[in-house]
């Protein structure tokens, strides 16, 4: 029997303060409880069917990376141990444990710190038209999925609704200040480089990723989730070939399935069939196990 995915959480009948596409967020004073549900989105639409344990996998993977990079920059984590959470969450531990992070509330910087090591997605699209990504000039002759000579910082604005907009690093500096922009983007690139090399040694290409930073009493803090399949593009190294769009490590079965339906991508998507859910769950678990060396479930 397949496990039941956790699609929504509530606290003794109360809804979270905010529901993102994937996460439920509870405001608990000067802190937040960030809960990764089992919701999954593809082509910007949350599917009515979830992937059992996906939220746990993403939270545990973020925690793994926060631990690895805590020497580079402070992060928002207070605790991921349910025993340390406010009592209402402890009393509902079946729902919240292993998928939630108790974090310091930050004043979030209104920029997505995207770092790209390869040409994909909106980066590839801009490069094809103008030879640049976020206004950064790149060498001629690169193909889709080509590795860039160096990883680059390609910021985007954080749109409350709709799509994020790519901007140049200079524009990001105008929005958050030169100094913060320089500091946060250098940290983002450094973490990307280390995570990329680490992941590669485990058979996964970290194509690009997005970080979010915030401030606490003026101090720069790494927040949100980091280096998960939801905030990054993971590619299987054995299927990588410049000139071709590599399959997504985690979402390939979902995208493939949705492409076989006649869904228009402008209305709620068709529910994923069970075999797609099972195969996708296996990929998420595989990514987790390859990267951390640990078994989750």
Ligand X SMILES: Nc1ncnc2c1ncn2[C@@H]1O[C@H](COP(=O)(O)OP(=O)(O)O)[C@@H](O)[C@H]1O
Nearest to ligand X of 152, 223 (CB atom): 223
Q: How far is the CB of 150 from ligand X (least distance, A)?
A: 27
Q: Does 21 bind ligand X (CB under 6 A)?
A: yes
| Least CB distance to ligand X at residue 11 (A) | 17
Using rule CB under 6 A, residue 134 touches ligand X: no
DSSP the chain: -PPPP-----BTTBPPSEE-SSEEEEE-SSEEEEEE-S--EETTEE-SS--TTHHHHHHHHHHHHHHHHTTTS-BSEEE--GGGS-HHHHTTHHHHTTTEEEEE--EE-SEEEEEEEE--HHHHHHHHHHSEETTEE--TT--TTPEEEEEEE--EE--SSS--EE--HHHHHHHH-HHHHHHHHHHHHHHHHHHHHHHHTTTEEEEEEEEEEEEETTEEEEES--S-TTTEEEEEGGG--TTS-PPPTTTHHHHHHHHHS---SSSPPPPPPHHHHHHHHHHHHHHHHHHHS----
Residue 192 Cβ, how far from ligand X at the closest point, in Å?
A: 19
39 binds ligand X (CB under 6 A): no
Q: Interacting stretch for ligand X, rule CB under 6 A, among 5-13, 22-30, 134-142, 274-282?
A: 22-30
Site string for ligand X, 68-87 (x = CB under 6 A): --------x-----------
Give Cα 41 to chain centroid, integer Å. 12
Among 35, 106, 172, 199, binds ligand X (CB under 6 A): 106
Q: Counting contacts by CB under 6 A, is residue 210 touching ligand X?
A: no
Q: Does 99 bind ligand X (CB under 6 A)?
A: no
Q: How big is the chain by its Cα radius of gyration, in Å?
A: 19
105 forms part of the interface with ligand X (CB under 6 A): yes
- Residue with the shortest CB distance to ligand X: 20
Nearest distance from C-beta of residue 264 to ligand X, angstroms: 22
Size of the site for ligand X (CB under 6 A): 16
Q: Which of 6, 11, 22, 227 binds ligand X (CB under 6 A)?
A: 22
The Cα–Cα gap between 9 and 96 comes to 8
The only residue of 5, 50, 214, 246 in contact with ligand X, by rule CB under 6 A: 214
- Among residues 9 and 236, whose Cβ is nearest to ligand X? 9
User: Which one of the spans 91-99, 104-112, 161-169, 269-277 is the region binding ligand X (CB under 6 A)?
Assistant: 104-112
Residues that bind ligand X (CB under 6 A): 20-23, 25, 32, 76, 103-106, 108, 212, 214, 223-224
């Amino acid at each position: 029997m397949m496990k039941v995915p956790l699609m929504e959480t509530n606290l003794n009948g109360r809804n979270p303060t905010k529901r993102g596409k994937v996460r439920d967020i509870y405001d608990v004073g000067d802190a937040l409880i960030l809960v990764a549900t089992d919701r999954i989105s593809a082509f910007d639409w949350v599917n009515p069917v979830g992937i059992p344990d996906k939220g746990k996998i993403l939270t545990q993977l973020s925690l793994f990376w926060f631990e690895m990079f805590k020497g580079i920059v402070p992060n928002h984590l207070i605790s991921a141990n349910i025993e340390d959470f406010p009592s209402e969450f402890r009393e509902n531990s079946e729902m919240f444990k292993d998928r939630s992070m108790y974090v310091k509330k930050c004043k979030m910087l209104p920029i997505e710190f995207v770092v790209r090591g390869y040409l994909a997605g909106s980066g590839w699209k801009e490069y094809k038209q103008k030879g640049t990504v976020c206004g950064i000039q790149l060498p001629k002759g690169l193909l889709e999925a080509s590795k860039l000579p160096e990883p680059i910082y390609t910021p985007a604005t954080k749109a409350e609704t709709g799509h994020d907009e790519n901007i140049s690093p200079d524009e990001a500096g105008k929005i958050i200040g030169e100094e913060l922009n320089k500091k946060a983007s250098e940290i983002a690139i450094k973490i990307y480089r280390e995570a990329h090399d680490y992941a590669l040694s485990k058979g996964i290409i970290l194509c690009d990723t997005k970080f979010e930073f915030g401030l606490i009493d003026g101090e720069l803090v790494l927040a949100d989730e980091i280096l998960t399949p939801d905030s990054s593009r993971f590619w299987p190294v054995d299927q990588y070939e410049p000139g071709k769009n590599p399959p997504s490590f985690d979402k390939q079965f979902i995208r493939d399935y949705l492409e076989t339906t006649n869904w228009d991508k402008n209305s709620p998507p068709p529910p994923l069939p069970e075999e797609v859910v099972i195969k996708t769950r296996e990929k998420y678990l595989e990514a987790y196990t390859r990267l951390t060396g640990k078994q989750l479930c």
